[in-house]
Amino acid sequence: MPLRVLGVDPGTLRTGWGVIERRGHTSTLCAAGVITAKGFHSLPERLRMIHAGLVEVITQWQPQVLSLEKAFLSYNVQSALRLGEARGVALLAASQAGLRIAEYNPTEIKTAVASYGRADKVQIQKAVFTHLGLSHGQQTTSLAASKDATDALAAALCHLNSSRFVEHIRLATAKEGRKTGQDAERMQLLRSAFQKRSMPRSVPTRGVPTRSVPTVLKVKG
């Protein structure tokens, strides 16, 4: 079953978003963009625009999961508060639509996408395009010009890569469990057969006291 993930890079002026679908081992870009507001808009108006934009994206693309960065501490308290408000709006839109929520810290996202926890935005962007199989020509589009959208796509890819890993472990564990169970069942059957056929039986002999003669079970190797 395909898994569709909405990645979001929240901000009160620019909120990047991107939807990626995973079928098997293939990740496909569905759409990506940026919800923008102007500095002269009041904060409540900006938050309303973010909410409305994300609701529209969710309605159109029907993702099952929202993936975004975890909240983090910042020396700039005002910026941290504004970012938290934008995150809250994104979480609200996703919750209203019944999406599952996945949150990752920045290092997790960078490592999952670029294999380096301190990758910069240019490295992240190149890694995202590589994961999605986008050609050099496609990289010159507005998507390539938007770091906000590619950061959102990186969050989505992080969840998809994590989901694939968890699914791989689950399937491997289930397969090993079935194999272990089958082996145990076969061993139990062999043990029961051996015990049954190895029980002593009486062999009457005229004039000679009866003695127990064990039956030897030959098991082919």
Active-site residue set = 9, 69, 148
Task: Return the number of other C-beta atoms located less than 10 Å from residue 71's C-beta.
Answer: 14
Which residues lie closer than 8 Å to 10 by C-beta, 6 or more apart?
50, 68, 83, 86, 87, 89, 90
Chain mean position to CA 190? 42
**Crossing angle for the helix pair 147-197 and 121-132, to the nearest 10 degrees:** 60
Alpha-carbon distance of 209 to 192, in angstroms, equals: 30
- Do the strands 208-213 and 201-205 form a parallel or antiparallel pair, or are they unpaired? antiparallel
Q: 4: part of which helix (H) or strand (E)?
A: strand 3-9
Structure tokens at 177: 């469990």
Residue with tokens 């089958």: 182
